[in-house]
């Protein structure tokens, strides 16, 4: 129905009796479905319902799913629920005035969330009709209705009174518009406004269309934010482009950035000749990243990127072919060749890592967030006799206990619901004759720690669901920003595992303790940004560099890299002056009196919370829901960042 007109979308009140007569004739088969009084969008739907054997006497949706099943569905559709939260909260007052409810469903027509009128008459009708979270309102289930028919046609639609195919729903009027993924345009849900027939209003469809557009805009912003955070998190994972291909996939498994031409990367990696376009890795609902990967993309090339429990996407790093046409080793080349430093403190740490790299002993990397612990892990791997073996990285804080266990140790066929047929090897096995890097080791669940200790002590593991023992041969490097000794004393980390891991502890200094490296790092990041974004030559003024050397850098090297990219992209002129820096970085003129301020990540978080609070009209509950945070967390951040809501500014910005 790509050519749908407004006449097809909007219902016409006052002709309910004529529509009912046409419906009765259609059911009896005494006349064609296409009655002059009935819109083609409705008659087409009636025909689909009849072909699907929908019971025209139905008066309610099936019983909604409850409890665990509903929660699993909400978790699976959390992105859509989060994007719709603020829009539905803002529409609540309108719903109360019009005697209607706003309904958010997924692509299958299952209700995810409901907002609106809570008066007794409508509440009873809603419950009796099963217009409730967990109920299915697809067209093949409940006949012609705005939710199901919009999903079938992909077009906005009003369905009023006797236009519904099922007689028990004739007392309702509803208006719905589909919600599309802002990246690929696929239908992912519906926003619907429903009420009893007396609540009919032509503007309801316009409101549904507007709400759908607002949700799509929120989804786009969430996707762009996630991609930016993915770039931020995976920066240290990307090796030199002269020896490797790198492709970034978003949380839906769609490729969106690569180190070269996608077609050339596919040819180099052995993709079938007739394949057009880089393949998807699978949907964001897959249990493990890359579960739908083609055979020519090897599992060890992929790494899921998860930050604070959110799956941001996947990084693929694959070796380029050598002159012989075969793929070169996945080792990164000379150890610490890409590490930028001049300070004696960093020199001492790098030399220590070079020495221990030659051994097989576990290494414990300690340091604040953003100091580049994974860079050091890669350097240790490149300095080791295992440099030609795989380098496998796993973030222990990125997933649930069950998912992390299966990722580390693998599983056998039928080990759990959703397990891949034939089972799967874990990352410990994948790191055979190479290096396993476990980031955020302090997050490793207590009950998995003895299994890791056994792998270290005896070189043995068992996949989940099997009793057989498998021999493994890997070198372990771990990292954390926690005080593991304190974690041991608090009985949150096993003492025996701690002493096994802490054979060679390496403290990586924070950036504020090696400020003499900042000019070198700035030059390095300027060159990278210039090449990556095709920018003209720019340089930092000496007083700008001096100002940056006085900053505390709570986000360390990662924060500095983000700042350099930001001012390179947004500043004017060849010379970057102190005035081009963010206010949080400029701070006070006097080093001894300066306020260290917020990091770039904290500033971004403050802006996001402030914008969301404003869009939710100061409603903290709606803000928490939109951000996917606990209300107590939002209150704490409002206090920390001194965010206040000004109703006047919200009105003026509309």
The average pLDDT across 46-73 equals 94
The average pLDDT across 271-293 equals 64
- The pLDDT of residue 271 is 83
- Listed in sequence order, the residues at least 6 apart from 465 whose beta carbon sits closer than 8 Å to its beta carbon are 411, 412, 413, 414, 415, 416, 419, 423
- The pLDDT of residue 236 is 59
Residue 636 reports pLDDT greater than 90: no
**CA neighbor of 285 nearest in space, from 429, 106, 478:** 106
- Can you give the CATH number for the domain in which 42 is found? 3.30.450.40
The average pLDDT across 361-369 equals 94
- The pLDDT of residue 238 is 66
Do 459 and 532 share a structural domain? no
Do 360 and 304 share a structural domain? yes
**Cα(310)–Cα(314) distance, integer angstroms:** 12
**Cα(272)–Cα(268) distance, integer angstroms:** 11
Confidence bin at 349 (pLDDT 50/70/90): very high
pLDDT tens-digit series, residues 612-627 = 787 777 888 878 777 7
Selected residue with higher pLDDT from 399 and 596: 399
Residue 500 reports pLDDT greater than 60: yes
Scanning 517-586, the segments in alpha helix (DSSP H) are 518-533, 542-549, 556-570, 583-586
- Can you give the CATH number for the domain in which 526 is found? 1.10.8.60
Do 260 and 325 share a structural domain? yes
Do 311 and 276 share a structural domain? yes
Alpha-carbon torsion 432, 438, 442, 443, what sign? Answer: negative
Residue 70 reports pLDDT greater than 70: yes
Confidence bin at 330 (pLDDT 50/70/90): very low
**Cα(620)–Cα(608) distance, integer angstroms:** 14
Residue 224 belongs to a domain: no
- The pLDDT of residue 307 is 72
Selected residue with higher pLDDT from 129 and 121: 129
User: Where is the domain boundary, 219, 250, 279?
Assistant: 219
Residue 532 belongs to a domain: yes
**Cα(413)–Cα(645) distance, integer angstroms:** 54
Confidence bin at 589 (pLDDT 50/70/90): very low
222-252 b/e with 16+ CB inside 10 Å = b?
bbeebbebbbbbbbbbebeeeebbbbbbbbb
Residue 621 belongs to a domain: yes
Residue 591 reports pLDDT greater than 60: no
Percentage, residues of the chain above pLDDT 70: 87
- The pLDDT of residue 166 is 97
pLDDT tens-digit series, residues 542-559 = 999 989 988 889 889 989
Do 433 and 501 share a structural domain? yes
**Cα(319)–Cα(29) distance, integer angstroms:** 66
Do 214 and 134 share a structural domain? yes
User: Where is the domain boundary, 175, 200, 219?
Assistant: 219
Do 491 and 417 share a structural domain? yes
The average pLDDT across 456-470 equals 92
Do 194 and 149 share a structural domain? yes
Confidence bin at 292 (pLDDT 50/70/90): low
- The pLDDT of residue 421 is 72
- The pLDDT of residue 602 is 66
Rounded to the nearest integer, the mean pLDDT of the chain is 85
- The pLDDT of residue 628 is 67
Confidence bin at 600 (pLDDT 50/70/90): low
Residue 651 reports pLDDT greater than 50: no
Do 587 and 490 share a structural domain? no
- The pLDDT of residue 416 is 74
**Cα(450)–Cα(402) distance, integer angstroms:** 15
Residue 1 reports pLDDT greater than 70: no
Reduced 3-state DSSP string for 252-304: CCCEEEECCCHHHHHHHHCCCCCCCCCCCCCCCCCCCCCCCCCCCCCHHHEEE
User: Where is the domain boundary, 575, 593, 611?
Assistant: 593
- Tell me which of 24-33, 158-167, 289-298, 402-411 is least confident: 289-298
Residue 1 belongs to a domain: no
Reading phi first (left if > 0) and then psi (alpha if -120 to 50, else beta), residue 102 is in: beta
Do 454 and 442 share a structural domain? yes
What's the chain's Rg over C-alpha atoms? 29
The average pLDDT across 489-518 equals 93
- Tell me which of 30-39, 139-148, 459-468 is least confident: 30-39
Selected residue with higher pLDDT from 147 and 342: 147
pLDDT tens-digit series, residues 222-262 = 988 888 888 877 765 666 566 678 899 988 888 988 888 88
Do 74 and 19 share a structural domain? yes
Task: Report the 10 Å Cβ neighbour count for 147.
Answer: 30
Tell me the pairing of strands 111-116 and 157-160. Answer: unpaired
- Can you give the CATH number for the domain in which 240 is found? 3.40.50.300
Residue 403's φ and ψ, nearest 5 degrees, are -65, -40
Do 205 and 234 share a structural domain? no
Residue 34 reports pLDDT greater than 70: no
- The pLDDT of residue 402 is 85
Residue 594 reports pLDDT greater than 60: no
Give the residue numbers spanning the domain of 543. 512-593
Q: How far is CA 214 from CA 111, 115, 151, 180, 482, in A?
A: 19, 16, 18, 11, 41
Tell me the pairing of strands 391-395 and 434-439. Answer: parallel
- The pLDDT of residue 650 is 43
pLDDT tens-digit series, residues 510-533 = 999 999 999 999 988 888 888 777
Residue 61 reports pLDDT greater than 70: yes
Residue 34 belongs to a domain: yes
Would you say 590 and 558 are in contact if contact means Cβ atoms under 8 Å apart?
no
- The pLDDT of residue 8 is 81
Confidence bin at 324 (pLDDT 50/70/90): very low
| Domains in the chain, number | 4
Q: How far is CA 143 from CA 20, 140, 253, in A?
A: 15, 6, 34
Confidence bin at 98 (pLDDT 50/70/90): confident
Residue 474's SS3 state is: strand
């Amino acid at each position: 129905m790509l050519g749908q007109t407004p006449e097809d979308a909007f219902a016409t009140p006052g002709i309910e009796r004529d529509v009912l007569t046409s419906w009765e004739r259609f059911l009896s088969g005494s006349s064609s479905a296409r009655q002059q009084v009935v819109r083609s969008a409705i008659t087409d739907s009636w025909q689909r319902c009849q072909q699907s054997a929908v019971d025209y006497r139905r008066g309610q949706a099936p019983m909604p799913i409850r409890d665990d099943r509903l929660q699993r569905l909400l978790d699976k559709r959390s992105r859509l629920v989060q994007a719709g939260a603020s829009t539905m909260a803002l529409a609540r007052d309108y719903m109360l005035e019009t005697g209607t409810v706003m309904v958010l469903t997924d692509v299958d027509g299952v209700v995810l969330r409901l907002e609106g009128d809570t008066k007794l008459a409508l509440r009873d009708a809603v419950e009796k009709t099963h217009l409730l979270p967990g109920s299915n309102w697809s067209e093949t289930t409940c006949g012609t209705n705005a939710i199901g028919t919009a999903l079938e046609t992909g077009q906005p639609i009003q369905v009023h009174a006797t236009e519904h195919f099922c007689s028990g729903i004739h007392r309702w009027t509803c208006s719905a518009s589909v919600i599309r993924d802002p990246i690929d345009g696929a239908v992912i849900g519906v926003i619907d406004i429903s009420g009893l027939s007396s609540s009919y209003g032509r503007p309801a469809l316009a409101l549904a269309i507007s709400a759908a557009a607002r949700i799509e805009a929120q989804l786009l912003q969430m996707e762009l934010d996630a991609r930016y955070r993915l770039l931020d998190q995976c920066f240290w994972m990307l090796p030199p482009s002269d020896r490797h291909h790198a492709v970034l996939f978003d949380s839906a498994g769609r490729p969106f950035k690569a180190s070269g031409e996608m077609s050339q990367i596919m040819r180099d990696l052995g993709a079938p000749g007739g394949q057009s376009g880089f393949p998807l890795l699978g949907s964001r609902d897959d249990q493990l990243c890359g579960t739908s990967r083609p055979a020519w993309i090897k599992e060890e090339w992929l790494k899921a990127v998860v930050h604070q429990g959110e799956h941001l996407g996947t990084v693929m790093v694959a070796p380029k072919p050598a002159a012989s046409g075969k793929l070169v080793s996945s080792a990164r080349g000379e150890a610490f060749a890409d590490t930028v430093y001049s300070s004696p403190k960093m020199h001492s740490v790098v030399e220590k890592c070079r020495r221990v790299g030659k051994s097989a002993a576990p290494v414990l990397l300690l340091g604040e967030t953003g100091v580049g612990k994974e860079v050091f892990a890669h350097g240790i791997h490149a300095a080791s006799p295992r440099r030609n073996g795989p380098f496998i990285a796993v973030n222990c804080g990125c997933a649930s206990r069950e998912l992390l266990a299966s990722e580390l140790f693998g599983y056998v066929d039928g080990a759990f619901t959703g397990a891949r047929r034939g089972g799967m090897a874990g990352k410990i096995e994948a790191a055979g004759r190479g290096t396993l890097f476990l980031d955020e080791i302090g997050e490793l669940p207590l009950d998995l720690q003895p299994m890791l200790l056994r792998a270290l002590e005896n070189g043995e593991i068992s996949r989940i669901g099997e009793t057989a023992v498998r021999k493994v041969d890997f070198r372990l490097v771990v990292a954390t920003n926690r005080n593991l000794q304190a974690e041991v004393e608090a009985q949150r980390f096993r003492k025996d595992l701690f002493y096994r891991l802490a054979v060679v502890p390496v403290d990586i200094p924070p950036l504020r303790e090696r400020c003499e490296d900042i000019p070198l790092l700035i030059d390095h990041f300027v060159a990278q940004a210039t090449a990556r974004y095709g920018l003209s030559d720019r340089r930092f003024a000496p007083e700008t560099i001096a100002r940056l050397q006085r900053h505390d850098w709570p986000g360390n090297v990662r924060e500095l890299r983000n700042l350099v990219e930001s001012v390179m992209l947004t500043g004017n002129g060849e010379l970057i002056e102190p005035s081009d820096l963010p206010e949080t970085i400029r701070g006070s003129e006097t080093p001894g009196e300066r306020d260290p301020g917020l990091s770039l990540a904290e500033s971004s978080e403050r802006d996001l919370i402030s914008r969301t609070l404003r869009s939710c009209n100061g409603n903290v509950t709606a803000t928490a829901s939109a951000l996917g945070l606990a209300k107590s967390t939002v209150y704490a951040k409002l206090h920390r960042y001194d965010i206040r809501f000004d109703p006047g500014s919200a009105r003026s910005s509309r």
